[in-house]
Structures are given as structure tokens and as C-alpha cells.
Chains A and B, each alone.
Chain A
Amino acid sequence: GAVVSQHPSRVICKSGTSVKIECRSLDFQATTMFWYRQFPKQSLMLMATSNEGSKATYEQGVEKDKFLINHASLTLSTLTVTSAHPEDSSFYICSAPWAGGETQYFGPGTRLLVL
């Protein structure tokens, strides 16, 4: 099946720094990728849709200047958390649709801890 990878798997950073998370589709091309955030004991919350060659589409309440998304190629999307604060600590997951767009394949997630 399709594989999606994320890097890094875990990152600890100081408050005020920026962190970049990569999402790659390893054996298929994805013109669209999705970024989710999962809080402890809560569901995945869609943050934004990353579109190759155009601007990302952000969900209501998600700051686009805070969470910068760049879909650099058909196999890579990056999420940069700018000026991170402790409340940004969370589990960030990306996914990419495959097989006509109906099935999502998820990355393993990135655990971000902001001190």
C-alpha cells in the first residue's frame, strides 16, 4: 500500500523558535496533502489542505501566518510552526489521498513539545 512518512518523529524546541515538519509520499504523487493536529484524548482536527503549486487552504480558526504550509513538490509538503509557544505542543499528522482521492494514507505523526 501507499506509504507516507513524516520527519522528524519527535521534536523539542524552545519557545519562540520555528519548527519545520516534513510530510512525504514515498511511492505515489500527491497534489493534495492534509495536515491534522491531535490533542491528547481528542480527535484529529484538520488544520489545512496543502495544494501543490498553490496556496494552502486553512480551516476556520487556524492562523495561516502561524502555521506555514508549503507544498514544494508532488511528494513533499512542509508545515512550519513559527514562533512556537507551549500551547502549540501537540501531535501533528499529515495524510495524502491515494487511489482517486477517496482513501487517505497517514503519516506516523510528529510529536512537538515546546518548552
Chain B
Amino acid sequence: AQSVSQHNHHVILSEAASLELGCNYSYGGTVNLFWYVQYPGQHLQLLLKYFSGDPLVKGIKGFEAEFIKSKFSFNLRKPSVQWSDTAEYFCAVNGVFSGGYQKVTFGTGTKLQVIP
């Protein structure tokens, strides 16, 4: 079975502060890793993804995430947050099972509130 855990449920930051949201997963096979963002009143949008290659991936709006295989982690970072980054962030794992079946598992989400 695969699982995803996000350590922070609610984060409050002032504008220009640095952000790091933790994400750990468990799955023994091939995985693709994602961060999704859900702005208030909007649907889920892809922020960034990791399939293979450089473990440091850059996404939209200045976000980046680092895949550390030995730690089963895929933490999201942004050097300087803005008020417009206020949203809920979901880490997700897409495990590839035998027969090509893929299953996406989401973390519980982290609500980020940025104070102007």
C-alpha cells in the first residue's frame, strides 16, 4: 500500500518569509510525485511534478520541491511567499503497480495563510 503524510496542517507566514512544507511517502515501487494547490474557491491545480532525473524540480510561481529518495520525502519550498500564495497545498504520489495500473494517493493537505 502507498501512503502520503504531510506534517503541517496549517501554516501561517508573513509575506516575504520562506516556506517549506513537508511531505513523506511510503511505497516500495516506482513513484511519480506531485504537489497540487487549491486556491480558495478554485479547483486543484498542478504546481509541480517529479518523474525522474534532477531531484530538484521547479514549478510555477517560484515553487520548487526536492525529491530525497533515501528519506522518502518530497518537500515543497518557496524562498519568499506572497499573500497570493494563500491556499491549500496537497502532496500526491502516483504509484505504478503491476500491469501498469496507477493509483494516486493524496496527503491530507496543508493550509497556508500568508499575512500581508
Secondary structure of the A contact surface, majority rule: strand
Assess A93 versus B32: contact at CB under 8 Å? Given A44-B90, A101-B102, A103-B49: no
Chain A window 60-98, contacts with chain B (Cβ cutoff 8 Å), 1 for yes, 0 for no = 000000000000000000000000000000000101010
From residue 39 to 75 of chain A, which have CB atoms closer than 8 A to chain B? Answer: 42-46, 49, 57
Task: For B105, list chain A residues within 8 Å (CB).
Answer: 46
Task: For A46, list chain B residues within 8 Å (CB).
Answer: 103-105
Assess A43 versus B106: contact at CB under 8 Å? Given A102-B51, A102-B94: yes
From residue 8 to 51 of chain A, which have CB atoms closer than 8 A to chain B? Answer: 34, 36, 42-46, 49
Among A42, A49, A102, contact of B108 (Cβ-Cβ < 8 Å):
A42
Secondary structure of the B contact surface, majority rule: strand
Task: For A42, list chain B residues within 8 Å (CB).
Answer: 108-109
Task: For B94, list chain A residues within 8 Å (CB).
Answer: 102, 104
Once the chains are docked, how many angstroms separate the CA of A58 from the CA of B34? 23
Task: For B34, list chain A residues within 8 Å (CB).
Answer: 103-104
Closest residue of B by beta carbon distance from A101? B102
Task: For A103, list chain B residues within 8 Å (CB).
Answer: 34, 46, 49
Task: For B4, list chain A residues within 8 Å (CB).
Answer: 43
Which B residues are closer than 8 A to A by beta carbons?
Answer: 4, 32, 34, 36, 42-46, 49, 51, 90, 94, 101-109
